[in-house]
Amino acid sequence: MIDHATATDVEIRNNDLSAAPGLPLVLVVRNERFLLPDFLDHYRALGVERFFVLDDASDDGTPDFLATQPDVCLLASSYRYGDKPDPDSLPPALRGKPDTRMIHVWRTGLMNRFCADGWALQCDADEFLLLPSKTRLPDVIARLEAEHARGAWGGMIDLYPRSISDLSAYDETGFVYPKAAWFFDGVRHFSMRKGKPPRHHYVGVRHRLDVAFADKPDLSRFQSLKLRLRGARKSPSGTLVKPILQRWSASAYYLNSHVTTLPLSCSMLLPLLHYRYTPGMLRKLEWALEAGGYSKGNADYQRVDAMLARMRREQASFMSPLSVPLTGFDSLRQTCNAIY
């Protein structure tokens, strides 16, 4: 039986860095070649020294590119992102959950295998951690250790261009931080809680666009007020927080892609810029809907596909009265979406 707790289904295809020193980052990718040069350079500048990248059968040149990077350990598995794991190999808390897929057990197994007993990051290729000016990850780790925290939450901030026409005005490599003009909904998205994930206080730009262009029912006035004042475990857009930086241990595991069993800081919230609306997303939508690799019947991707199709027909804008330009860390701190 494959031991999912240590990702024994995963093989090293190129450049074994498992015994090398340096802060690691774990990443699972599928056809995201257009993002990877800027992604790697961004996290290198923040202090990441090793990247453990599991390629999920990309066919866009991703493995060939990663094999040329001296600080990248290229990984592969006989499983696919959306495959169901053997339930007997899962932690008790995950057994019986029908939505558990290989991506969920990879998140734990890769950390156990390559990052045990040390600090590490894990995120997706379209998520760029933003820190205050002149701050690097070793500075963040020092602050977390001073408060005896095992990690920090990342609050996902969905970014968007001004107009749907911008998705064709730029090539794919022109749509990453900070090359293009980016905007976000400038209201407080989250609040911190001791011993629990942050509460959500805003529906999210995804829900805003769904209501405008995909005919998704809006919240009642009571539901909207409750979310704004009291918060909720997640917003109508889904769970928009995740543990971005953690001091991992063999006894820890991911409960899902957004929560682990480690106690994270309740006094720090790091903005995780999420490049959801890019030219590359259009290709990703085509693959997701064709391959069926995502959970919940691809409902999220089907809705986004319908929403973008209508926006293209109407040449619509992403903007709303809530939109503010992303000008750096302070623009997120001023809107209560970053705490450091």
Mention every residue, 6+ apart, whose C-beta is less than 8 A from residue 8. Answer: 2, 109
Using 50, 70 and 90 to split pLDDT, how confident is the model at 84? confident
Interacting residues of 19 by C-beta distance below 8 A, sequence separation 6+: none
Say yes or no: 296 and 250 in one domain: yes
Give me the pLDDT at residue 289, please: 58
Q: What angle do CA 11, 16, 19 make, to 5 degrees?
A: 115
Q: How many CB atoms lie within 10 A of CB 297?
A: 9
Phi first, then psi: give them for residue 140, nearest 5 degrees. -65, -45
**What is the pTM (predicted TM-score) of this model?**
0.92
Q: What percent of the chain has pLDDT over 90?
A: 66
Measured distance CA(259)–CA(100) in Å, rounded: 13
Judgement on whether residues 143 and 233 belong to the same structural domain of the protein:
yes
Asked if pLDDT for residue 327 goes beyond 80, the answer is yes
Q: How many residues does the chain have?
A: 340
121: left (phi over 0), alpha (psi -120 to 50) or beta: beta
pLDDT at residue 275 tops 60: yes
Phi, then psi, of 193 in degrees rounded to 5 = -135, 140
Confidence check: pLDDT of 285 > 80: no
Q: What angle do CA 179, 182, 185 make, to 5 degrees?
A: 160
216 and 312 both lie in a single domain? yes
pLDDT for 132: 97
91 and 135 part of one domain = no
Which long-range contacts link 253-261 to residues 24+ away (Cβ below 8 Å)? 253/5, 253/91, 253/93, 253/94, 253/108, 254/104, 254/107, 254/108, 255/93, 255/94, 256/104, 257/103, 257/104, 257/107, 258/197, 259/197, 260/151
> Are residues 146 and 161 located together in one domain of the fold?
yes
Domain boundary among 85, 105, 125: 125
Residue 295 has pLDDT above 60, yes or no: no
**Does the structure show a pLDDT above 70 at 174?**
no
pLDDT band at 167 (very low <50, low <70, confident <90, very high): confident
CA 208 and chain centroid, separation: 20
Q: Name the domain count of the chain.
A: 2
Mean pLDDT value across the chain: 90
Q: Are residues 106 and 205 in the same domain?
A: no
Q: Are residues 194 and 275 in the same domain?
A: yes
What string of DSSP letters covers 186-225?
Answer: -S--EEEETTEEEEE-S--HHHHHHHHHS-PPPPPHHHHH
Tell me if residue 85 falls in helix, strand or coil.
coil
Q: Is the pLDDT reported for residue 278 higher than 60?
A: yes
Range in 175-184, 188-197, 204-213 the model is least confident about: 175-184
- Structural domain ending residue among the three candidates 77, 95, 125: 125
pLDDT confidence band for 172 (50 / 70 / 90): low
**pLDDT, tens digit (0-9, with 9 covering 90-100), for 197-253:** 999 999 999 999 999 998 788 899 889 888 988 899 999 989 999 999 999 998 999
Residue 121 shares a structural domain with residue 134 = no
- Check residues 175 and 17 and name the one with the higher pLDDT: 17
**Token digits for 249?**
């241990």
Q: Is the same domain home to 23 and 144? A: no
CB 159 within 8 A of CB 274: yes
Whether 100 and 206 map to the same domain: the answer is no
- Above 80 in pLDDT, residue 282? no
Identify whether residues 119 and 266 lie together within a single domain.
Answer: no
Terminal CA-CA length for the chain: 44
- Answer yes or no: is pLDDT of 165 > 90: no
Largest CA distance in the chain: 55
Looking at residues 259-286, what average pLDDT do you find?
87
Torsion of CA 79, 305, 167, 154, to 10 degrees: -60
Last residue of a domain, one of 125, 142, 174: 125
The pLDDT of residue 277 is: 87
Distance (Å, whole) CA 77 – CA 82: 12
Domain extent for 319: 126-340
- Residue 90's pLDDT band, with cuts at 50, 70 and 90, is confident
Residues 243 and 291 in one domain: yes
Report the run of H or E that residue 151 belongs to, with start and end. Answer: strand 151-158
